[in-house]
């Protein structure tokens, strides 16, 4: 290590650059770089396409008001939506070339930040002070185009910036104003080529040099190359995760502030190599790149020292246990997971609005070849797919409001971690697979990029992977539940997340259940019955999981192995617990709604969602005898009839999502106008040109 160090001229030159001055220079230079032409600014200031929400007259308005409880923040929302509808800056770019998209999105980012964070409408410190503002912002930002803008903003402010805020101390926090206003662009360099999920085994090193009180950041081998780093094309600074080596001892992964570009924002710092990771399934407006470090020296102060520091050449940490220390460092990513849930749920709201409006306008087939044709939403093959999705998104709203409230209260860290992880996995997966089905339901017209389904599928898909792979998040949920279970089982006094367990002990101890044979509508729609089904399942799976893991351990005597052998049950537990929480909080929320019409509508949606969850896991409910044959049959019949009833309200229900009309941007989903005229206009059929000549003239 020290060998490469001394032999490296570029490294030597970088020694002369103390952190402070680079930071400040970067900021100053960036201010000059990012001047905006006045006309752009005034153009936007004059625009005012934002509609005022919250005038609760129609059912849709009331549903929207309910769905945004705890994340109202009217001024922030209106400002953000006004900016997104200003086409002079926020033109959708997902069908442009990758290179052009990136320039457009960079410009959108810096412009947006200067108008919001820059004006103090929201701050990085809201990560602690008022996370509900971040949720509100995600809810708005995810309506625009393909989420490239939103993702780049999250990377800069809530990953790079969050590391500075959460892992750093006083001396680092002075950078926050320039980060959040977009003057200082940064990236979050955690993932490596060889390690995405197992980040505790990252290989990049930060070796402490007592002589100069510096660290040397090094990419020791190819697999240690930082990979998929968002904002790598534009960032001046990076929050780099690396193994801290002090006196030859590995103190495990810590985070460091590393200048990667010269203040001019273009030239790289000595010893830094950066390249593009290339085209992606979606979000090509985000510049994901790879980064390598060759003996890059940074001053001691660039260590974010909240969870670890070096005093008189000796490593110190407020948390002795390395696992717990690293867990604490990672725990800071929780806001990211919560905001993903908000972003994904909103994306499905946009996609569903497009699909439902199309299905109401598109007619196909009639009783006879000459008879008037039927709107496709009237076919069971359509409404039995659409309506459960609509209900599910309302269910997500209920639990998101609850999670956001609890998170702001910071009352029960454990519950919040379990819920945030489970929801991120559940929502991101559901949204991606659902939009793929919406594309199918809209047939050929849905396959056009103009429909937006393609970019929404592609951009959401990665949410199943980043900020914690879904499979791992479910394992964290299961692990936390089992730990709490073990702690509380002996006393049989279950608290917090496991409160519901008590009630079910009787059921669980006996093989056969005490549930009623009733299969009448009243019983099946009874909210208490639906809650019980969900609670029984989680309880049963929690105990099964505990048994499965311990049985496996008795045989293998290997904790890692016995855990892996039990994964199927553990994942089932995590999913079930998350669904139980959603149903449970949806029920609580519905009961508290004052307005009768709103309450009755939400109740139906809640019933449909819960019954859908039960039916999807009928194998469990039947094999545990919790549901008898006739009851099971009655449930599937009931789901169909609920879907049929609700389908008559489909347009009102998606209007209740309160999408910004101007941001729908799909000829299939326009509220007004003739469907086919909108499609024709989009492909330029009304222009007098014939087939684009360049296609025919183009030569290889």
Q: Which position among 56, 70, 328, 384 is part of the footprint of a copy of itself (CB under 8 A)?
A: 384
Decide whether 122 or 344 has the Cβ nearer to a copy of itself: 344
Q: Least distance from C-beta 491 to a copy of itself, angstroms?
A: 32
| 544 contributes a contact to a copy of itself by CB under 8 A | no
| 316 contributes a contact to a copy of itself by CB under 8 A | no
Q: How far is CA 17 from the centre of its chain?
A: 37
Q: Give the span between the Cα atoms of 131 and 137, in whole angstroms.
A: 10
| 249 contributes a contact to a copy of itself by CB under 8 A | no
Q: Least distance from C-beta 552 to a copy of itself, angstroms?
A: 12
Q: Which position among 28, 72, 130, 378 is part of the footprint of a copy of itself (CB under 8 A)?
A: 378
Within positions 634 to 653, which residues make up the interface with a copy of itself, using CB under 8 A?
636, 640
Sign of CA dihedral 327, 328, 329, 335: positive
Give the active site residues. Answer: 467
Q: Give the span between the Cα atoms of 291 and 546, in whole angstroms.
A: 42
Binding-residue pattern over the window 258 to 277 for a copy of itself, x denoting contact by CB under 8 A: -------xx-x----xxxxx
Return the number of other C-beta atoms located less than 10 Å from residue 261's C-beta: 22
Mention every residue, 6+ apart, whose C-beta is less than 8 A from residue 20.
Answer: 301
Return the number of other C-beta atoms located less than 10 Å from residue 391's C-beta: 25
Decide whether 102 or 172 has the Cβ nearer to a copy of itself: 102
Binding-residue pattern over the window 554 to 593 for a copy of itself, x denoting contact by CB under 8 A: ----xxxx--xx-xx--x----------------------
CA nearest to 422, candidates 580, 616, 619, 195: 580
**Angle at CA of residue 603, ends 602 and 609, nearest 5°:** 85
Number of residues that bind a copy of itself (CB under 8 A): 118
- SS in 3 state form for 80-103? HHHHHCCCCCCCCCCCCCHHHHHH
Q: Which position among 9, 20, 279, 318 is part of the footprint of a copy of itself (CB under 8 A)?
A: 279
Q: Least distance from C-beta 690 to a copy of itself, angstroms?
A: 6
Q: Contact, 608 vs 583, CB < 8 A?
A: no
Structure tokens at 66: 């309910």
Decide whether 100 or 128 has the Cβ nearer to a copy of itself: 100
Decide whether 213 or 364 has the Cβ nearer to a copy of itself: 364
| 97 contributes a contact to a copy of itself by CB under 8 A | yes
Q: How far is CA 426 from CA 75, 255, 393, 440, 613, in A?
A: 30, 29, 12, 22, 12
| 197 contributes a contact to a copy of itself by CB under 8 A | yes
Q: Give the span between the Cα atoms of 363 and 361, in whole angstroms.
A: 6
Mention every residue, 6+ apart, whose C-beta is less than 8 A from residue 299.
Answer: 18, 19, 213, 214
Q: Least distance from C-beta 81 to a copy of itself, angstroms?
A: 23
Within positions 152 to 191, which residues make up the interface with a copy of itself, using CB under 8 A?
191
| 409 contributes a contact to a copy of itself by CB under 8 A | no
| 53 contributes a contact to a copy of itself by CB under 8 A | no
Q: Least distance from C-beta 447 to a copy of itself, angstroms?
A: 5
Within positions 461 to 500, which residues make up the interface with a copy of itself, using CB under 8 A?
461-462, 464-466, 469-471
Element (H, E) at 187: strand 186-189
| 673 contributes a contact to a copy of itself by CB under 8 A | no
CA nearest to 421, candidates 500, 522, 340, 517: 340
Q: Which position among 80, 104, 391, 542 is part of the footprint of a copy of itself (CB under 8 A)?
A: 104
Q: Contact, 229 vs 219, CB < 8 A?
A: no
Decide whether 493 or 629 has the Cβ nearer to a copy of itself: 629
Decide whether 558 or 597 has the Cβ nearer to a copy of itself: 558
Determine the longest span between alpha carbons in the chain, in angstroms: 90
Q: Is 191 annotated as a binding residue?
A: yes
Within positions 426 to 465, which residues make up the interface with a copy of itself, using CB under 8 A?
432-433, 436, 439-440, 443-450, 453-454, 457-458, 461-462, 464-465
Decide whether 51 or 682 has the Cβ nearer to a copy of itself: 682
| 633 contributes a contact to a copy of itself by CB under 8 A | yes
Q: How far is CA 365 from CA 361, 373, 376, 384, 596, in A?
A: 13, 5, 9, 19, 38
Q: Is 225 annotated as a binding residue?
A: no
CA nearest to 668, candidates 444, 490, 501: 444
Binding site for FAD: what residues are annotated?
Answer: 191, 230
């Amino acid at each position: 290590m020290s060998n490469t160090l001394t032999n490296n001229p570029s490294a030597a030159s970088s020694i002369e650059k103390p952190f402070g001055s680079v930071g400040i220079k970067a900021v100053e230079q960036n201010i000059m770089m990012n001047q905006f032409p006045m006309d752009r600014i005034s153009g936007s200031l004059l625009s005012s396409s934002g509609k005022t929400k919250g005038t609760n007259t129609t059912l849709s308005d009331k549903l929207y008001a309910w769905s945004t409880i705890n994340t109202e923040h009217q001024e922030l929302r209106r400002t953000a939506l006004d900016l997104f509808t200003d086409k002079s800056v926020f033109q959708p770019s997902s069908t442009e070339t990758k290179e052009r998209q990136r320039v457009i999105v960079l410009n959108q980012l810096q412009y947006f930040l200067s108008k919001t964070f820059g004006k103090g409408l929201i701050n990085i410190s809201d990560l602690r002070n008022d996370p509900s503002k971040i949720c509100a912002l995600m809810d708005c930002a995810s309506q625009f185009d393909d989420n490239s803008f939103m993702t780049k903003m999250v990377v800069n402010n809530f990953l790079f910036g969050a590391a500075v805020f959460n892992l750093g101390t006083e001396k680092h926090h002075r950078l926050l104003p320039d980060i959040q206003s977009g003057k200082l662009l940064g990236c979050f360099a955690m993932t490596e080529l060889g390690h995405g999920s197992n980040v505790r085994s990252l290989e990049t090193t930060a070796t402490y040099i007592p002589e100069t009180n510096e660290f040397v950041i090094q990419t020791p081998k190819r697999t240690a190359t930082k990979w998929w780093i968002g904002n790598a094309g534009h960032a001046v600074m990076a929050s780099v995760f690396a193994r801290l080596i002090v006196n030859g001892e590995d103190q495990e992964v810590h985070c460091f502030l590393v200048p990667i570009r010269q203040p001019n924002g273009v030239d790289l710092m000595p010893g830094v190599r950066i390249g593009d990771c290339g085209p992606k399934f979606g979000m090509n407006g985000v510049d994901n790149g790879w980064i390598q470090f060759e003996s890059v020296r940074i001053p001691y102060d660039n260590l974010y020292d909240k969870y670890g520091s070096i005093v008189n050449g000796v490593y110190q940490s407020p948390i002795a246990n390395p696992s717990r220390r690293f867990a604490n460092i990672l725990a800071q990513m929780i806001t990211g997971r919560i905001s993903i849930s908000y972003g994904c749920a909103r994306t499905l709201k946009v996609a569903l609005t497009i699909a439902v409006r199309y299905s109401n306008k598109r007619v196909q087939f009639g009783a006879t070849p000459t008879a008037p044709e039927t709107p496709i939403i009237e076919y069971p093959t359509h409404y039995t797919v659409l309506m459960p999705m609509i209900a599910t998104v309302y269910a997500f709203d209920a639990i998101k409001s609850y999670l956001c409230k609890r998170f702001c209260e910071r009352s029960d860290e454990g519950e919040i971690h379990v819920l945030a992880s489970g929801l991120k996995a559940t929502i991101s997966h559901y949204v991606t697979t659902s939009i793929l089905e919406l594309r199918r339901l809209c047939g050929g017209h849905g396959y056009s990029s103009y429909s937006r389904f393609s970019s929404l599928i592609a951009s959401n898909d990665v949410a199943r992977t980043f900020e914690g792979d879904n499979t791992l998040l479910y394992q964290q949920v299961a692990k936390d539940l089992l730990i709490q279970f073990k702690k509380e089982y002996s006393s049989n006094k279950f608290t917090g997340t496991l409160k519901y367990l008590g009630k079910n002990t009787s059921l669980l101890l006996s093989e056969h259940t005490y549930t009623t044979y009733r299969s009448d509508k009243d019983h099946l729609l009874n909210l208490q019955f639906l809650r019980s089904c969900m609670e029984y399942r989680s309880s049963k799976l929690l105990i099964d999981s505990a048994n499965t893991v311990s049985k496996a351990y008795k045989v293998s005597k290997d904790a890692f192995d016995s855990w892996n052998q039990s994964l199927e049950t553990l994942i089932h537990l995590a999913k079930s617990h998350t669904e139980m929480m959603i149903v449970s909080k949806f029920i609580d929320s519905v009961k508290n709604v004052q307005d009768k019409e709103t309450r009755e509508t939400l109740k139906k949606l809640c019933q449909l969602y819960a019954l859908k969850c039960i039916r999807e896991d009928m194998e469990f409910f039947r094999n545990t005898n919790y549901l008898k044959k006739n009851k099971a049959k009655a449930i599937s019949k009931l789901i169909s009839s609920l879907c049929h009833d609700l389908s008559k309200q489909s347009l009102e229900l998606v209007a209740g999502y309160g999408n910004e009309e101007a941001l729908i941007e799909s000829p299939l989903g326009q509220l007004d106008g003739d469907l086919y005229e909108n499609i024709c206009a989009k492909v330029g059929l009304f222009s007098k040109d014939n087939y684009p000549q360049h296609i025919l003239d183009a030569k290889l």
